[in-house]
Chain A
Amino acid sequence: MMKANPPRGALRMLSWFCPGHLYEEIEGDLIQQFSRDLKRFTKGRSRRRFYWNMIRFFRPGILLRNKPTTRLTSLDMFTNYLKVAFRVMLRNKGYSFINLFSLALGITAFAFLFLWIQNEFTYDQFHADKDRIYKAWNRVEANGKINCWDVTARVLAPTLNEEYSGVESAVSYTAWGEQHLFVRGDKRLIKTSGAYADSTFLTMFSFPLIKGDARTVFQNPQSIVITESFARELFGDEEAFGENVYIGEGGDGLSLTVTGVLKDLPHNTDFHFEYMIPYSLVEKFNGKEVYWGNNSVYTFVKLKEGVDIGSFNEQVKNIVKTHTKDNDEHEVFLYPLTKMRLYSKFENGVPSGGRIEIIRLMGILGVCLLVIACINFINLSTARAQRRSKEVAVRKVTGAFRNSLVGQFLCESILLAFGAGMLSLIAVYLGLPFFSRLINENLTLQFSNLNFWIGGISLILIVGILAGSYPALYLSAFKPVKILKGMAISTSGKSLIRSVLVVIQFGVAISLIVSVFVVQRQINYVQNRDTGYDKKNLVYQYFTGTLRKNYESYKNELLQLGAAESITKTSTPITNRWSNTDGIEWEGKDPNDKTLFERIYEDNHFATTAGLTVIRGRDMDLEKFPTDSTAAVLNEAAVKAMGFADPIGQIIKDNGIEWHVIGVVKDFILTSPFNKVEPVILFGCKQSWPFAVAHIKLSSSKSTQESIAIMADLAKKYNPDYPFEYEFVDVAYARKFANLEATRMITILASFLTILIAGLGLLGLSTYLVEVRVKEIGIRKVMGGSVLSITNMLTWASIRPILFAVLIFGPQAWFAMNWWLSSYPYRISIGIFTIPLAALTIIFLAVLITTTQTIRAAKANPVNSLRSE
């Protein structure tokens, strides 16, 4: 009798396609056939016949019996995984809570930041021809540095249109917040949300019109395009299209036809206007502006298709020089619209980031939070691996492959991630309005968008796999023989990887705490900065309607009634920049000096009204010195910039007018409290056109409400058509901190979350470490160990990685915050105490968390832990 085995390879191949429930009998029949073949044929031929017979089973009649059954078996296993996962979670409620909650926090934070970042990248990306649209910038070399700015001359756009064949259209655009009164029947509305633009603006950009044709809306200069919601505000339910609106009052105003109704602008655009008026209307009254030196409008250019931007920029570079006789060194270049929002910072003439830097930081922050949450899961599940080791061993003994165990544990982590994802979906939904307000954006969850769900589910899968893959590989590698024999795995609970992960967690935490400290101190420092003027009881009021005309009577009556102590009219509120120039001339000026001076015009007593400190000379006083109409008062920075030893009596020239310096005031903050003080010149009232604002120092003898009530009465008398509006200077000043306030809230929130997640993880880990060492603690106590020494020992074990984190990440946090601070000219120095202070905070927190567990363990009666084995 020949003894030969059927070919194994053939059997294995059969197993790939043969349905499980038929496999055994088919295999048996094949083997039986083989055995009988052996009697008749040679061994080789029998084997070949075996292969051939096997391959013949690869036919639809067999294959089609496969499908439903295989799916059923894996589904069975899957439900078993789910069942076990649920049971494990329910058995350890505390740990499951920590895992679930920290993952949910991490995902929520990530989702918020992701939504924000995504929103940033959609800004002005919806324009159909966005790739051909550019914004014109000016570039000029001054004092050895190249400066770039994006306001250009009004004449640039028409010149580009006329002289450059590569240009499809070019428009000027401004939205400087000029005040307009709209009159329609009895309705009067004051709006500052207008824009001026050339006629091709609406064909260049994709702001869809509901009514009207974008190509013809501005054919007639006497026209206006308004947005849908403004139309509703002004016309109610009536049709706005084709109607007339009246702007201004009495004989001064003019009537415009609504030639287009725009759909409300989307929130993700940097264009903000509710109505748009053509430049042709302005030019009808003021004439065409052809002066290249006045840079006060934005210029947008749409190039023809196929025009290379590099060579076009080369052509357009000298456009200013060729059109002006005086030697103006401005160069013009075009910069893509798509980069306008995120990449519009230039350093020495080269693009150097911009808003994108913040966005990148936020992205890193989001990923960090997510990773920290994942680390919790990894640490807790590997630390507690011993609990699962028996299960792993039994599964392996009963025939589980390692792959299926990996699959099982991944299933568990993905299940957990799904739970966390559900929680965070709710959290994001509820928290989004607050977050939107914090960052001043309009973020929404797009439930109807398929990408939203795809993104959300893939995020959850990624988190599940990220958090679950290491524990899965770790747990599935256990050797069943060792475990079932009773050999424990790493009872000490120590693991290098776990320590490294804890170091990372707390490294991020310490960086964030440092940033909170630094941001907080910087805000305090700047908020407490001496403004140089007295914000208390100081109010400013824009000249609207007839207030400008009636200013003198208004002022006199306010003073008479005792509502105000001092009133000055100026060109600008003291909190705003209005106009600046590098063209001031004085004796001994270096011709290459391009220092910018801020201009403010005042009529009288501005130092008194605003509470500026006069350190040399005197305040303006027209009653005593009528020549003060051509006087100038400098601040210290201006004196320094001009290099005067004795500024009083010096003559300075601006726009061809000579001004004589009568006084010097202490530096005061005009624009940003984060910057160095700019040189400021206060000019007298020789010209009447610049005046637009009244500064009123309210009387200290009357209460603020009383004074405001008197102002309101008088405003009604002298300016009946316009609503009474005013602003406290301290409120306006506080607005300068809005951006930093958002940064502060985000750093506080992020570090709070990080510490919460990392702290939860630490709590879980230390609980477990104590659990594992409970016998050791018992024996130590029996041998005479004190509660203190045992607590010390246990706490130290948990704290050590955190000390490492402080040492490794502390210096990095210091560098990072130095970099952040460097963007503020007026700033704190971080100092040597910030890092140790942050370190102490976090170590204190960590000790607090761990000792709750360790003290309890150290105090426990050793009998309880030792009596059973």
Chain B
Amino acid sequence: MAKEFLGEFEEIILTLVAGLQEDAYGAAIAEEIETRLKREVNLSAVHVTLYRLEDKGLIKSKFGGGTNERGGRKKRIFTITNSGLAMLKAMKEARVDLWKLVPQLQIA
């Protein structure tokens, strides 16, 4: 079987799930993307991607508590699975490998 690839947006979301840990749910991730990456992102796009990643087994989810801010509705907290972590690492290494091909001159 060919190795599975992730799209750029999927990779960002997966990374954020790994990074935000107990605070990884739809709205929070969307906000992180907006504040850190300065990039407009739609809530529904985040949700759909999260579900897709869950289908692929890269993340898993459980219900978390609700807050006043969200009208008492429960959050769905996502956590990264081992295969998700492996995938993330593999991708990072691949990036680094590729990066090494770029002539160092230009940075200096």
Contact = CB atoms under 8 A, between A and B. Distances in A.
Q: Do A and B truly interact?
A: yes
Interface of A: 6, 22, 24-33, 35-36, 53, 56-57, 59, 61-62, 65
A26 to B, nearest CB: 6
B30 A61 contact: no
Contacts of B43: 29-30, 33, 53, 56-57
A39 to B, nearest CB: 10
12 contacts: A24-B74, A25-B63, A26-B26, A27-B71, A28-B27, A28-B75, A29-B30, A29-B75, A31-B69, A31-B73, A56-B43, A61-B48
Contacts of B25: 25, 29
Interface in B1-35: 25-27, 30-31
B75 A59 contact: no
Nearest to B67: A32
A61 B47 CA distance: 9
A36 B52 CA distance: 26
Given A26-B47, A28-B70, A61-B52, A56 B42 contact: yes
Contacts of A6: 71
A22 to B, nearest CB: 8
Nearest to B61: A25
A188 to B, nearest CB: 86
B60 interface: no
Contact of B47 (A24, A36, A57): A57
A59 to B, nearest CB: 6
A65 B71 contact: no
Nearest to A30: B43
Contacts of B51: 22, 61, 65
Most buried by B among A22, A28, A30: A28
Q: Dominant SS at the B interface?
A: helix
Contacts of A57: 43-44, 47
A17 to B, nearest CB: 12
A24 B64 CA distance: 11
Interface in B37-71: 42-45, 47-48, 51-52, 63, 66-67, 69-71
Contacts of A30: 43
B44 A25 contact: no
A53 B42 contact: yes
Is chain A's interface secondary structure helix, strand, loop, or mixed overall? Answer: helix
Nearest to B26: A29
B27 A62 contact: no
Given A59-B44, A61-B48, A25 B69 contact: no
A26 B27 CA distance: 9
Nearest to B48: A61
Given A32-B27, A33-B27, A24 B44 contact: no
A62 B51 CA distance: 9
B73 A25 contact: yes
Interface of B: 25-27, 30-31, 42-45, 47-48, 51-52, 63, 66-67, 69-71, 73-76
B44 A56 contact: yes
Contacts of B27: 28-29, 32-33
Contacts of A24: 73-74
Contact of A28 (B30, B44, B45, B71): B71
Contact of A62 (B47, B71, B73, B75): B47
A31 B71 contact: yes
Nearest to B76: A25
A32 B25 CA distance: 11
B56 to A, nearest CB: 13
B100 to A, nearest CB: 36
B31 A27 contact: no
A487 B74 CA distance: 40
Contacts of A53: 42-44
Contacts of B63: 25
Nearest to B73: A28
B70 A35 contact: yes
B29 to A, nearest CB: 9
Nearest to A61: B48
A62 B25 CA distance: 16
Contacts of B76: 25
Nearest to B45: A56
Nearest to B49: A61
Contacts of A29: 25-27, 30, 43, 47, 70, 75
A361 B48 CA distance: 65
B26 A25 contact: yes
Given A31-B70, A61-B52, A25 B42 contact: no
B42 to A, nearest CB: 5
What 8 A-B pairs are tightest by C-beta distance, nearest first?
A: A28-B73, A61-B48, A29-B27, A32-B70, A56-B44, A28-B70, A25-B76, A29-B26
A167 to B, nearest CB: 76
Contacts of B47: 22, 26, 29, 57, 61-62
Contacts of A31: 69-71, 73
Nearest to A53: B43
Contacts of B75: 25, 28-29
A62 B69 contact: no
A672 B66 CA distance: 93
Contacts of A25: 25-26, 63, 73-76
B52 A28 contact: no
A77 B48 CA distance: 29
A19 to B, nearest CB: 10
Q: Which residue, of A27, A32, A57, has the highest number of chain B Cβ atoms within 10 A?
A: A32
B66 to A, nearest CB: 6
B1 to A, nearest CB: 24
